[in-house]
Amino acid sequence: MAPGTPHPLLDDDVRQRVLLCLLLMQRHSWDQGVTAAALGDAGATDLLRVLADDAVARQLPDGRLAELDPVCAVNSGAVGELVALLAARTGDAGLAAATGRQRGWLLTGAPRAADGTLFHLTVSRQVWADSVFMVVPFLAAVGEPAVALAQFRGHRSRLRDPATGLWAARWDEDAGALADPRAWGTGNGWVAAGAARAVRRLPGAPGAELAAEVRALLAACRPLRRPDGLFGDVLDDPDGPADTNVAAMLGYAALTGAAEGWLTPADGALGESLLGSVVDRLDELGRVQGASAAPHFDRPGHSPEAQAFLLLAHSAALRWRASTHRGAASS
C-alpha cells in the first residue's frame, strides 16, 4: 500500500488465520515473548495463561524463561514481561516466583559490560539492538525504572548514529567498535517497539525520555519508506530487499504512542498506513509474506515475529481508533 493510503483493519476471520499461523510456527524464546504480547494486547487471557505456564515449565535454573537455546542471554525477558503482568493480575505464587528468577537473571546473572549494559549472547561480548525489546519492557513491568532506563541508554550510547538517528545492529565491547554497523530494519524495529511498550510503565521523566526516542526514531525512518509502503531489510539501502516485518514493528510503535497520547494523530495515521502495507502482503493461509525469514533471517519469507507484530499493530490500531472516538465524543 502506498504511504498515506487509508486501510480497513483485519476482519475476525483473517485475524484468526494470522494467529493460527503464529501458533503453528516453531518459536524461540523471543518469539514466545512477542506471541505473549500479541495475546495480551488482544485480551486472549486463557491462551496467554497457557503460554505463560509453558514458559515457566521450560525456565532454566538460572531464571531464563522459555529458553531452549542457552546461548541467548536476554531473549527470555520478552516473555518475562507477560509472565510478570499475569502474576500481578492473578496473584499466582508460581508465576510470581518465576518472575523473580527472571528478574534476578537480568539484574545480576546475565553477562554485561562494565557499565551494566547487557550482552545479547552468553558466548560473545556484543550489545545488540534487539535487546531493547527483550529487557526494557520487562524491567519496567517489574518495577525497575532506573535499570530499564539505564539499559536503554547503554544500548543507545553504543548503537545509535547521532548523524542519522538510526541504530546499528551490533556493537563489540572488546573491540570498542561496531560489529555490524548496518541500520538493520528489524533491529530499529525492536528498538522502537520495545521503547514504545515501556513508556506507559515509566511515569515522569523516564517515560518522557523513551517517548522522545520513539518519536525521533520514527522521524529518522519515515523518509526511508519505499514507494510500495515498506522499508528495507537495511533501512538506508534502497537497492536491498524489503522486510515486511519492519513496517509492522514501526507501525506498532506509532499506533501505540498515538493511542496513549504521547505521539500525534499524524503518527497514528502513519501507523495505520504501515499496518495496511503488511495486511496487503498476507497470503491465503494468513502468513505475512516478505518478512526476514526464520530461523536464519537471511532471505525473504515468513517468521513468527512478523505474525505477532501484525497482530500487535492491529490491536494498537483498535486502541488508537477508540481513543480518537473518545476524544471526538468529549469535544
Q: Given CA atoms 230, 233, 236, 241 in this order, what sign does their dihedral have?
A: negative
Alpha helices in the chain (DSSP H): 12-24, 29-41, 45-57, 76-90, 93-104, 131-141, 145-159, 185-199, 205-221, 244-260, 265-279, 304-330
What residue type is 3 in one-letter code? P
* C-alpha dihedral, 47 to 50 to 56 to 60, nearest 10°: -80
The grid cell for 48 is: 496467554
* Pair 65, 29: CB distance under 8 Å: yes
* Segment 188-233, tens digit of pLDDT: 999 999 999 999 999 999 999 999 999 999 999 999 999 999 999 9
Q: How many CB atoms lie within 10 A of CB 319?
A: 16
Tell me the CATH architecture of domain 12-27+112-320: Alpha/alpha barrel (1.50)
Q: Helix/strand/coil (H, E, C) string of 248-273? A: HHHHHHHHHHHHHCCCCHHHHHHHHH
CA 119-122-127 angle, to 5 degrees, is: 20
Burial 102-113 (b: 16+ CB within 10 A, else e): bbebbbeebebb
Burial 1-24 (b: 16+ CB within 10 A, else e): bebeeebebbeeeebebbbebbee
Average pLDDT, rounded, for the chain: 95
Residue 5 has pLDDT above 60, yes or no: no
- Report the pLDDT value the prediction gives residue 288, as an integer from 0 to 100: 98
According to DSSP, residue 282 is labeled: B
User: What's the pTM value of the predicted model, to 2 decimals?
Assistant: 0.95
Contacts of 73 (CB under 8 A, 6+ apart): 110, 111, 118, 119, 120, 121, 122
* Segment 142-187, tens digit of pLDDT: 999 999 999 999 999 999 999 999 999 999 999 999 999 999 999 9
Residue 306 has pLDDT above 90, yes or no: yes
More confident residue, 2 or 256: 256
Cα distance from N-terminal residue to C-terminal residue, the chain: 32
236 φ/ψ angles, rounded to the nearest 5 degrees? -100, 20
Alpha helices in 200-303 (DSSP H): 205-221, 244-260, 265-279
- Report the pLDDT value the prediction gives residue 9, as an integer from 0 to 100: 80
